[in-house]
Amino acid sequence: MPDRPLPFDQPVFVTRPLLPPLEGFVGRLRDVWSSGWLANGGAQHQALERALSEHLRCAHLSLFNNGTIGLIVACQAVRLSGEVITTPFSFPATPHVLSWNNVTPVFADVEPGTMNLDPAAIEPLITARTTGILGVHVYGTPCQVDAIDEIARFYGLKVIYDAAHAFGAEIDGRPIGSFGDATMFSFHATKLFHTAEGGALAVNDPDLKRRIDLLKNFGIRDEEHVVMPGINGKMSELSAALGLEVLKLVDAERTRRAHIARLYAQRLAAHAGVSLLRPPANVRDSLQYFVVRIDPAVAGVDRDRMHERLRRFNIVTRKYFYPLCSRYSCYRHLPSAQPANLPVATRIASEVLCLPFHGGLSDDDVHRICDAIDHAIAEGA
């Protein structure tokens, strides 16, 4: 067995928010203070919307106070109702936004490679009540957008993508926000690009953008006209100001994360039972998470035991996304939620583990994490 590595002095988390130099942020806050304008589409908001439209190459972008409200609004804006087919392998927000729209989530199984909605599993679930598909580009790996688009066009369904993890991802050079009817990005502090709390919707249709902008501001068209039952989804000037400073750091953070990913891949290649989620060759990685799958039969240790053993070294890994959304008490009664219908997702959820992955990790940190993984495997079952 390898020597027992020393635990980290402080917990090492899966991620760490990207913090821009405080002076730059304070400079922007001064501008906000002197404008006296804290919300409702002020100068910072306008500047961030422009900057992100350019960065993400979106036809139209609307900023939100968080990604979940953005998704709720997207469902309203494209008028989802009845049933919507979605993945069980995601964060709670994905099915919950359907519930908040009085829509029943219908869970379809995922593909073993991308861990995203399996297009072949979608079609058998379509009923007269189905109005849309809510795909998730989980961990930033894109869904099979062409196959999903073909099904949606044939059956007349709307497509919304949850790209909470997919900031900066591309398929064959095409930006991730250009697929489907609407795409949501999350700018939560845990995301590579963030505004502390925040999010955005990207759409191609200018009329849809107008509807979204009304919906996120209570449906207020002007001082005397409220034209639809909207909600408050607006991003504040403070968040937008932070986002403008964080955006300056994104390219360097991506470079550092790409290096860390290569280092992990080199070290973990020694373990046949630990496989990596690698984006397909035609995909630009969002570098949001570093995910491994642990096959207990080959590794000699299962995911839960690895999670516990790494905790002893002060390494805090996450079992994203266990349990499956279909196992939540609010969804487990649904016919589509039965584990027998979701064999791939059920297996994946028991094998995935997200390792610490952010630009604040030194090469030495990554080696120490890998030493701890070596040790956890050498300990065996």
Ligand X SMILES: Cc1ncc(COP(=O)(O)O)c(C=O)c1O
3-state secondary structure of 99: helix
Which range of residues in 20-28, 49-57, 161-169, 338-346 is near ligand X by CB under 6 A? 161-169
**Shortest-Cβ-distance residue relative to ligand X:** 67
Closest distance between ligand X and the C-beta of residue 64, in Å? 8
Which range of residues in 64-72, 79-87, 123-131, 206-214 is near ligand X by CB under 6 A? 64-72
Q: Cα–Cα distances in Å, from 56 out to 61, 175, 185? A: 9, 7, 10
Return the residues of window 167-196 that contact ligand X according to CB under 6 A.
Answer: 186, 188
Maximum Cα–Cα distance for the chain, whole Å? 74
Q: Is 66 in the site for ligand X (CB under 6 A)?
A: yes
Return the residues of window 307-366 that contact ligand X according to CB under 6 A.
Answer: none
Q: For residue 53, give both structure tokens.
A: 């439209």
Q: Are 100 and 81 in contact (CB under 8 A)?
A: no
Beta-carbon contacts of 120 under 8 Å, excluding residues fewer than 6 positions away, are none
Helices then strands, each counted (H, E), the chain? 13, 15
Closest distance between ligand X and the C-beta of residue 196, in Å? 10
Q: Which is nearer to ligand X, 116 or 186 (CB)?
A: 186
Which range of residues in 23-31, 61-69, 119-127, 292-300 is near ligand X by CB under 6 A? 61-69
Which range of residues in 87-95, 257-265, 277-285, 307-315 is near ligand X by CB under 6 A? 87-95
Q: Which one among 18, 28, 67, 166 touches ligand X, defined by CB under 6 A?
A: 67
Return the residues of window 216-275 that contact ligand X according to CB under 6 A.
Answer: none
Q: Which one among 90, 114, 286, 317 touches ligand X, defined by CB under 6 A?
A: 90
One-character DSSP codes across 319-369 = -TT-S-GGGSTTTTTSGGG-GGG-HHHHHHHHHEEEEP-STT--HHHHHHH
103/81 Cα distance (integer angstroms):
5
Q: Are 216 and 232 in contact (CB under 8 A)?
A: yes
Closest distance between ligand X and the C-beta of residue 374, in Å? 30
Q: Which is nearer to ligand X, 61 or 372 (CB)?
A: 61
Q: Cα–Cα distances in Å, from 208 out to 155, 178, 181, 235? A: 21, 14, 9, 19
Residue among 192, 184, 160, 180 nearest 233 (CA): 184
Q: Which one among 63, 148, 152, 164 touches ligand X, defined by CB under 6 A?
A: 164
Distance of CA 21 to the CA centre of its chain: 26
286/178 Cα distance (integer angstroms):
15
Q: Which one among 44, 94, 183, 326 touches ligand X, defined by CB under 6 A?
A: 94
Return the residues of window 99-138 that contact ligand X according to CB under 6 A.
Answer: 136
Closest distance between ligand X and the C-beta of residue 26, in Å? 25
Q: Which is nearer to ligand X, 66 or 317 (CB)?
A: 66
77/286 Cα distance (integer angstroms):
27
Q: Which one among 15, 68, 116, 341 touches ligand X, defined by CB under 6 A?
A: 68
> Which x/- pattern, by CB under 6 A, does the window 197-216 give for ligand X?
--x-----------------
In one letter, which amino acid is 183?
T
115/349 Cα distance (integer angstroms):
10
By CB under 6 A, name the binding residues for ligand X: 66-68, 90-91, 93-94, 136, 162, 164-165, 186, 188, 199
